[in-house]
């Protein structure tokens, strides 16, 4: 795959594929006939919840960390994270013999904090909010001589995340699927921008759509307005991994050029998707990882108009990238309720 240039920024996916090697898992593409029936199409799950450190973030974190090591940079790593990126950076640092510090907002997921500490990284939360965490991280990195690995707005991170799309293209190709609808969770934009770069080149008939929580709709607002939108306050949503206030600058340039649609789903719709994934598919998936399935089940955005106006145009193959599985069972039980009855129609 050739280099992709965004202004002066180059996204080198081939180098990421070579660099990652056996550092990350090749995750499965799963299928559920029950979900097929509910969605009205053949639905596939790209299960990044089976990735190392429990999410797709391991791809970008390892790629960025290895770029520094190859360049002879001896500094430790610092991550800004809601949890999954921090785990991935902590794992990469541990394997490469580097110290790591992770800056997280107060009140972040306790299971994610525990996992980061399990990789022997330091976690800094005191006084940290969504609004000031980047400033705190920058100051801390300068004071301690650490290299910041941004969770999404970094060409090496985006290149690593693009390997999700490369794997997916190969898996779909082996099944003879050429024109799927691919639903990708959207927070800061690293996964969506990397995935769309890979699929536009390897599976050009695929249609890639971003999915974000309705309470954190900066991506949808940005695409609608044509300029990057910053939310006025930190969003409150069960999908903590997508609770961002704005897209990364590099990610936005890619998304603006390559992505046709970004849709939103409510926390209630995320709960319904989580119910299906946990109780029927037997998959441990965090709420953020369920965003794509929520969009498919609820038929939001253009899916609704296609289904209602001309069912013959409804996509026959839908892929949901399941971005991660780092959560406590109590989070899911609180979200979907303790009953195993069918979820309410959404």
Q: What is the CATH number of the domain that holds 89?
A: 3.40.50.1100
* DSSP codes joined into one string, 137-183: HHHHHHHHT-EEE-SSSSHHHHHHHHHHHHHHHHHHHHTT--S-EEE
Any idea of the CA torsion for 31, 333, 79, 152, to the nearest 10 degrees? 40
Residue 51: CA count within 13 A, CB half-sphere: 36
Domain containing residue 224: 4-55+155-336
**pLDDT digit string (tens) for the chain, length 346 residues:** 545 656 556 899 999 999 999 999 999 999 999 999 999 999 999 999 999 999 999 999 999 999 999 999 999 999 998 889 999 999 999 999 999 999 998 988 888 899 999 999 999 999 998 889 889 999 999 999 999 999 999 999 999 999 999 999 999 999 999 999 999 999 999 999 999 999 999 999 999 999 999 999 999 999 999 999 999 998 999 999 999 999 999 999 999 999 999 999 999 999 999 999 999 999 999 999 999 999 999 988 888 877 766 666 788 999 999 999 998 888 888 787 643 454 443 3
Other beta carbons within 10 Å of 174 = 9
User: Can you tell me which residue has the tokens 């309720």?
Assistant: 337
Residue 342 lies in a domain: no
Same domain, 175 and 140: no
Other beta carbons within 10 Å of 280 = 12
**Final residue in a domain of this structure, among 149, 174, 208:** 149
Residue 344 lies in a domain: no
Same domain, 225 and 292: yes
**Final residue in a domain of this structure, among 107, 125, 149:** 149
Same domain, 50 and 73: no
Structural domain total, the chain: 2
**Final residue in a domain of this structure, among 130, 149, 168:** 149
Do 213 and 242 touch, CB atoms closer than 8 A? yes
């Amino acid at each position: 795959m050739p280099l992709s240039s965004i202004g002066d920024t180059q996204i080198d996916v081939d180098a990421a594929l070579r660099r990652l090697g056996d550092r990350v898992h090749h995750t499965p593409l799963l299928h559920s006939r029950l979900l097929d029936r509910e969605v009205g199409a053949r639905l596939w799950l790209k299960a990044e919840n089976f990735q190392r450190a429990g999410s797709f973030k391991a791809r970008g974190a390892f790629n960025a960390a290895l770029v520094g090591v190859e360049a002879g940079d001896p500094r430790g790593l610092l991550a800004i994270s809601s949890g999954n990126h921090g785990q991935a950076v902590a794992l990469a640092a541990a394997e490469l013999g580097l110290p790591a510090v992770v800056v997280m907002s107060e009140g972040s997921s306790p299971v994610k904090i525990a996992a980061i500490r399990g990789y022997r990284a330091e976690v800094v939360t005191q006084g940290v909010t969504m609004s000031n965490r980047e400033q705190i991280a920058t100051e801390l990195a300068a004071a301690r001589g650490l290299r910041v690995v941004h969770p999404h707005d970094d060409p090496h991170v985006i290149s690593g995340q693009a390997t999700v799309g490369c794997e997916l293209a190969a898996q779909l190709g082996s099944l003879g699927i050429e024109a799927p609808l691919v639903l990708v969770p959207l927070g800061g934009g690293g996964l969506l921008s990397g995935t769309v770069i890979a699929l536009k080149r390897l599976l050009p008939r695929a249609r890639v759509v971003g999915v974000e929580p309705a309470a954190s709709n900066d991506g949808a607002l940005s695409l609608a307005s044509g300029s990057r939108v910053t939310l006025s306050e930190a969003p409150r949503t069960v999908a903590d991994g997508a609770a961002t206030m704005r897209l990364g600058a590099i990610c936005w340039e890619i998304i603006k050029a390559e992505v046709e649609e970004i849709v939103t789903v409510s926390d209630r719709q995320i709960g319904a998707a989580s119910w299906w994934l946990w109780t029927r598919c037997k998959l441990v998936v965090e709420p953020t990882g369920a965003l794509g399935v929520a969009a498919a089940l609820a038929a939001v955005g253009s899916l609704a108009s296609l289904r209602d106006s001309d069912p013959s145009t409804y996509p026959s193959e839908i892929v949901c990238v399941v971005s991660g599985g780092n959560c406590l069972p109590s989070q899911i039980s609180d979200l979907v309720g303790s009953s195993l009855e069918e979820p309410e129609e959404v």
